[in-house]
Structure 1
Amino acid sequence: MPFMPVKFNLQKRVKLAQGLWMIYWLSVIVGILIFSLGIFFKIELRKRSEMMDSNESHLVPNLLILVGLMACGLNAFGGKVCHDSLDPMKFAKWKPMLRSYLLLCCGFNGLLLLTAVLCFLMQFAVYLTLAEGLKNSIKFYKDTDTPGRCFMKRTLDMTQIEFRCCGNNNFRDWFEVQWISNRYLDMSNDLVKDRVLSNVEGKYLMDSVPFSCCNPGSPRPCIQHHLTNNSAHYDYDHRIEELNIWTRGCREALFSYFSSMMNSIGMLILATIILEVRLHPQHTAANQHPCESDGWLLEKGVKETFGELFSKMKILGKKNQVDEGGDDYSSRRHWSNVRDMQEKVSSVCVVVLKG
């Protein structure tokens, strides 16, 4: 007995074709949005590449660009078929392609699901990439004369200003590195020489941060030098006073930015999958008979359909190899089973394919 039988007349078929046409073109718009987000995500990764590990993965944005283009192409084709289904002469040329198109849509839905899963799983890799990349960026901040690192200072300063952050984990990360180049240090000054000689690695370390860490919203002029020295500033106690620099680390700020972007894209793709995977009666707008006709989701019941499918799979598993010296009858029997299996798979795929 067919599963969820439906009676179609000409009026219902016209309404169904029109509804499917609208859904297809809505899916095209969603595909354009996914493609645009993939481009935007890739650009953002490129912009921050200096502060990320050298070989950050662009798998997710590349997949977004791919599925966006595929969504536009597949859904535009489906919309064209729905539009032509109202004309028997035009629809006749599309009808032989429908089964292959439905199977292609099934594979596309699997690719969409993989992309959505990667959007959620790759966030941990982005976190580790940012942690290592920012750590190195702070070390190379002073190397404005070194090829390949000339713009590191500008990039890091602009990031701290834009994301309102300071350092990798927090502002104290700047206390552990020499972020002022030796060319700007007066080595004849006794205080500078003492500070350099007091460090086992010969670095000029101080409790200061770059100007880009300053919070412009603070009413007090920015205190960026001698942050832990209360006597260096009037009416100042770093242990109890709210500092007028950003206290949030850039790793947390950047990860929050990228993770929110990836979560939003992942949710959009899941919504797209729900839009794409629609129940599709076997006789839909493609049926051009002017009289009333039957339609169904499955030609047989769900249990019977899957039971027959699994039976065919078992038979094929036992006969997965045809002897080269076998007779013609065995060979024909094998390929007959293969064709039957393909037809059953196609009928089951109808449940989860787009209209």
Structure 2
Amino acid sequence: MVLLKLQLPHQRRVRLAQGLWLLSCVSVLAGAFTFSLGVFLKTELLRRAEVMDNTEIHVVPNILMLVGLVTIGINLLAGRICQDSLDSTRFPPWKSFLLPWYGLAGMVCLWLFSAVVLSYALQGQLEESLKVGLRNGIRFYRDTDVPGRCFQKETIDKLQIELRCCGNTNYKDWFEVQWISNRYLDFTSKEVKDRVRSNVDGRYLVDGVPFSCCNPASPRPCLQYHLTDNAAHYNYEHQSEELNLYNRGCRQALVDYYMGLMNAIGPGVLSVILLQMSVLLSLRFLETSLLGVDPEDPEGDSVGYILAKGIKETMMDIKATILKVLQFGQVTAAEGEVGMAGADGEKAATSS
């Protein structure tokens, strides 16, 4: 049973070739769009690489960039095939290229769909990567004199200001680390010495946060220190002063930002998949309709179809072909072993 059989007169075949050429041009632009999306997402991930512990999420933009380039190539080829399909002498050489083209176009659609799925499936890994990366960034915030870490303070401050966030989970994360460098502490001061002695690890811990945590929307001047001491500030209640500091943690802010990008990119990628499938099916209709043209009547009617048999029959034929190839490989290997055994026997007879 032929799948999706269509009667195509000569005029309809010409219009199909012209429409497919136009569709191929649009698909080339879609490939460039996909590549651009991958570059943009890659750039955004690299911009925050200092607060990420691993690069597993980079597989999504890598796939988009690779598939974008492949999409441009195969659709340029499809456009050339459409042009040559109107000439009966130039189309036959393309027949041997069409089967690999269909396979590559199908793989493009599969890769694009996998990129969409991975963008959501890797959300857990993204959160864990940001959790560890931000924790290290906060811990090394004070190391402005240490080679390899001197950029951490600037990175964290810019991040908190830009995304309007504070800490890893919230602003209390700063209470658990010494974020003030020892070079800026007066160790002759009794308060400093008492705080250092009171800590098991000898760290200077304060209930304060860097300036980048301050919310400019607060109606009062920003309070950075003694945040849990209501008596240290006039008319202050730390549990109700929500405007003083950013309440959202930077991990959640970054996850929301990247997932927002994924949600925006997803529909665009799905549109590219539908467009590429349209090119694939249209080219298949054009190919089969041209193969069915009578050489003595090139302008006569012909039949175009997707599969010469039904889906079930086609899958069975593919399965039988694969099994035949595997059996051929096994027979070849067995013949090789028999030949080696025969050679060993001849050597043994000769030596005896």
Normalising by the smaller structure, the TM-score range is 0.7 to 0.9
Q: What is the deviation of 1:308? A: 4.2
Answer yes or no: is the 8 Å Cα contact 1:13–1:284 preserved in 2. yes
Q: 1:89 to 1:130 in 2, by over 3 A?
A: same
Within-5 A mapping of 1:226-241: 226-241=226-241
Q: 1:284 aligns with which of 266, 283, 286?
A: 286
Q: 1:301 aligns with which of 307, 310, 330?
A: 310
The number of equivalent residue pairs is 326
Structure 1 segments unaligned to the other structure (5+ residues): 327-355
Aligned to 1:177: 177
Answer yes or no: is the 8 Å Cα contact 1:230–1:236 preserved in 2. yes
Within-5 A mapping of 1:9-158: 9-53=9-53, 58-158=58-158
Q: What is the deviation of 1:114? A: 2.9
Structure 2 segments unaligned to the other structure (5+ residues): 336-352
Greater mean deviation of Cα atoms: 315-324 or 270-279:
315-324
Q: What is the deviation of 1:102? A: 1.7
Aligned to 2:259: 259
Choose between structure 1 and 2: higher helix proportion.
Answer: 2
Q: What is the deviation of 1:280? A: 4.0
Aligned to 1:329: none
Answer yes or no: is the 8 Å Cα contact 1:281–1:297 preserved in 2. no
What CA distance in whole angstroms lies between the structure 1 residues aligned with 2:227 and 2:9? Answer: 80
Answer yes or no: is the 8 Å Cα contact 1:35–1:67 preserved in 2. yes
Greater mean deviation of Cα atoms: 104-113 or 76-85:
104-113
Q: 1:52 to 1:306 in 2, by over 3 A?
A: closer
What CA distance in whole angstroms lies between the structure 1 residues aligned with 2:88 and 2:214? Answer: 71
What CA distance in whole angstroms lies between the structure 2 residues aligned with 1:28 and 1:177? Answer: 52
Greater mean deviation of Cα atoms: 264-273 or 122-131:
264-273
Q: What is the deviation of 1:312? A: 4.8
Report the 3-state secondary structure (helix = DSSP H, G, I; strand = E; otherwise coil) of the residue aligned with 2:207: coil
Aligned to 2:248: 248
Report the 3-state secondary structure (helix = DSSP H, G, I; strand = E; otherwise coil) of the residue aligned with 1:94: helix
Letter in 2 for 1:290: E
Greater mean deviation of Cα atoms: 139-148 or 94-103:
94-103
Report the 3-state secondary structure (helix = DSSP H, G, I; strand = E; otherwise coil) of the residue aligned with 2:307: coil
Greater mean deviation of Cα atoms: 284-293 or 163-172:
284-293
Q: 1:144 to 1:25 in 2, by over 3 A?
A: same
Answer yes or no: is the 8 Å Cα contact 1:141–1:153 preserved in 2. yes
Answer yes or no: is the 8 Å Cα contact 1:119–1:265 preserved in 2. no
Aligned to 2:270: 270
Within-5 A mapping of 1:162-241: 162-241=162-241
Q: 1:121 to 1:300 in 2, by over 3 A?
A: same
Answer yes or no: is the 8 Å Cα contact 1:138–1:177 preserved in 2. yes
What CA distance in whole angstroms lies between the structure 2 residues aligned with 1:309 and 1:93? Answer: 25
Q: 1:135 to 1:214 in 2, by over 3 A?
A: same
Q: TM-score, normalised by structure 2?
A: 0.84
Report the 3-state secondary structure (helix = DSSP H, G, I; strand = E; otherwise coil) of the residue aligned with 1:321: helix
Q: 1:8 to 1:45 in 2, by over 3 A?
A: same
What CA distance in whole angstroms lies between the structure 1 residues aligned with 2:159 and 2:192? Answer: 29
Letter in 1 for 2:63: L
Answer yes or no: is the 8 Å Cα contact 2:20–2:283 preserved in 1. no
Measured against aligned partners, the alpha-carbon deviations of 1:193-223 in whole angstroms (never above 9, x if no partner) come to 2112111111111111111011112221111
What CA distance in whole angstroms lies between the structure 1 residues aligned with 2:30 and 2:99? Answer: 24
Q: 1:292 to 1:166 in 2, by over 3 A?
A: same
Q: What is the deviation of 1:317? A: 5.7
Q: What is the deviation of 1:160? A: 0.3
Q: 1:304 to 1:95 in 2, by over 3 A?
A: closer
Q: What is the deviation of 1:111? A: 2.6
Moved over 6 A (4+): none
Cα root mean square deviation, aligned: 2.4
- Percent identity, aligned pairs only, is 48
